[in-house]
Amino acid sequence: MRLNYTGPVVLAILDGVGLRRDVAGNAVKQAHTEFLNYAVENYKTTSLQASGEAVGILPNDMGNSEVGHNAIGSGQIIKQGIAHINEAISSGAIWQTQTWIDIMERIHNNPESTLHFSGIFSDGNVHSSIYHLEKMIEKAHEENVKHIRLHLVLDGRDTPPQSALQYVSEIEAFINSFPDQPDYRIASGGGRMVFVADRYENDWEIVKAGWNAMVNGIAPHQFSSATAAINTFREKDPAIQDQYIPPFVIFENGMPVGTVKNGDSFIYYDFRADRAIEIAQAFTYNDFPYFDRTYFDENGTEHHAKPDVYFAGLTEYNSDTHVPEHRLVEPVKIENTLNTFLGSKGISQLAVSETVKFGHITYYFNGNSYEKVSGETHLEIPSDTLPFDTRPWMKSAETADAVIKNLENYRFIRLNFPGGDMVGHFAELEPTIVALESIDIQLARIAKEVDRLGGVLVITADHGNAEELMDAEGHSKTAHSTNPVPFIIYDNTENRNSYDFTRIEDAGLSNIAATITTLLGLEEKPDSWRDSLISVNE
C-alpha cells in the first residue's frame, strides 16, 4: 500500500529547537507555542538524535546546522567534519598532500616569509578545532618554519560566551613552549560576528574588516597583545560576548607585528565551509567585486589587488566551484541525496529560507552542492543585518508567505526557520521566546493551508540550542546542545491511520529522507539510505 496525498509534503526544520525537560533556561518550554503544543499532543510524534555519531561527528559532540542538514538531506550518516580531519591528521595523510608539500617548499625557498593561520578560534568542534591548529603549528616547527602569525576569529558562540582569554592563554603557552623560541605570534583578532567570518554574503564588511586587519594591519583598535585587547573590551563592557569583540591588531614599536605580505602562505583551518568561503574568495579570486582589496607592499606602495599569497583551506569550501584550489584534506563526497532521488522521480521541489540559513536548506541539504536538479527551485528571503536579538521574529512571516504562495506549485517543500538558533546564540531568554512564538504562528498558518490542500506537514529540527540557554551552573550558554530534537507528522488526511512509527533504536536525522519518500508514496529508496521512521500498514 502507498500513501497518497492530494497536497504537498512539507518539511519544516526549526533550526536550533531541541527537547529538554528542565524549564530553567529553556525557551522552548517557556514559549507560548499553541500550535506546536497541540501538534505534539494530537499527532504522531517522536524524538531523533541530532548530535555525535548520529550525524557523523565525534561521540558526545553537539550537533550543528551543517551536519544536521547533511544528514537530513542525504539520508545517511556521513563521517565528516572534525572526525574526517582527525583521521587525516592521525594517519599523517594531511602532511603527504601536495598542498602541505607546496607550502613547506615555498617557505623553505623564502625562509623570511611567514605562514599565517586563521579560523574560528575555539575547541567548539563545530567550525574548527584548536587541536588541528596546534598540530599544524607543531608540524610546521618540525619542518623548520621560522615565522608564524595567528589571526584569531574569537568564538563565544560554540563555546562559553566569555571564554576567549582561556583559549588565548592556552595558545600563547603552546607557541612559547618550543625550546628554540621561534618567531610565532598572535597578529590580529576579533569576534566571529564582526571579523572575517561572514556567511552567505550577508555582510561583506565583516570580511573586509578581517582583510584590513590581517593584510594591512588596520583596525579600529591597536594593542600590545590579544590578552590586553580582550581585557580592555571587557572593562568597557563587562557583558560583551567574544563573538562581538571588535577587530584589533597587535602592534609593537608602532608597527603591526604580522601582516600578510607578498610571498607568504596562509592556511584557513575551518573544516566547515559557511564561515570560510568568503575569506577564501577574497584571497583567491581575481575578479572580486565585494570590496577593494588594497594592500601595501614592503616599500609602502599601495596596490589595488590581492597580494601574492599561497592560500589553502583545511578542506574544500565549495564543491561546485572547488574553492579553494589548494586544500589539505579532500572533502567527503556525498551521493544519493534526497533532492537527487526525488528529481529522478520527477517530483517538483522547493527550498525556502532566509539568508542566514539559506545555504543550509540548499547547499548542505543537497550534499554540499548548490546545483539544482530538474524541477527544483531555491527561494531566498533576505535576512535583517541588525542583531537578531533585536529582531527575534526574523523573517518567519515572509518565509511562511513564500511557502504558502507555492504550496500548490510543488510536491515537496522544505523550509528552515532560523530563529531558535540565530536568536538562541545570544543566550537571552526573552528574545528567544519571542523567536519561537513567532515561528509557531507561522507554522499554524502553513498547517492551515496544508490541510486545505490535503497535504502533510513534517516538523523537526537540525540540532538543539533554544532549549538550553543556561548551563548547569546557571551561566549563559550560547552553544548548541546534544539534546534530541522533535519529529512531528501533522496529518489531517485519511492517510494518518495508514502508517505507524517503526522501532529504530538509534533513530536520527538521517532517517528523515526515507520517511519523506514514504510520505510521497515512493516504495523504493537508495540502498545507502537509512530506514524510514514510518511503515505503511498492509
Q: Which amino acids are annotated catalytic?
A: 65
* Contacts for 173 with CB less than 8 Å, ≥ 6 apart: none
Check if the beta carbon of residue 54 is closer than 8 Å to that of residue 62.
no
Query: How far apart are the C-alpha atoms of 331 and 270, rounded to whole Å?
Result: 12
**Which amino acid makes up residue 499?**
Y
Residue 71 φ/ψ, nearest 5 degrees:
-65, -45
* Contacts for 318 with CB less than 8 Å, ≥ 6 apart: 273, 277, 370
**Which amino acid makes up residue 40?**
V
Residue 415 φ/ψ, nearest 5 degrees:
-145, 160
Query: How far apart are the C-alpha atoms of 396 and 10, rounded to whole Å?
Result: 16
Q: Using CB atoms within 10 A of its CB, is residue 102 exposed (0-12), middle (13-18) or buried (19+)?
A: middle
Q: Closest by alpha carbon to 52, among 65, 42, 61, 39?
A: 61
Is 336 strand, coil or helix? coil
Residue 41 φ/ψ, nearest 5 degrees:
-80, -25
Q: How many residues appear in the chain? A: 538
Q: How far is CA 391 from the centre of its chain?
A: 21
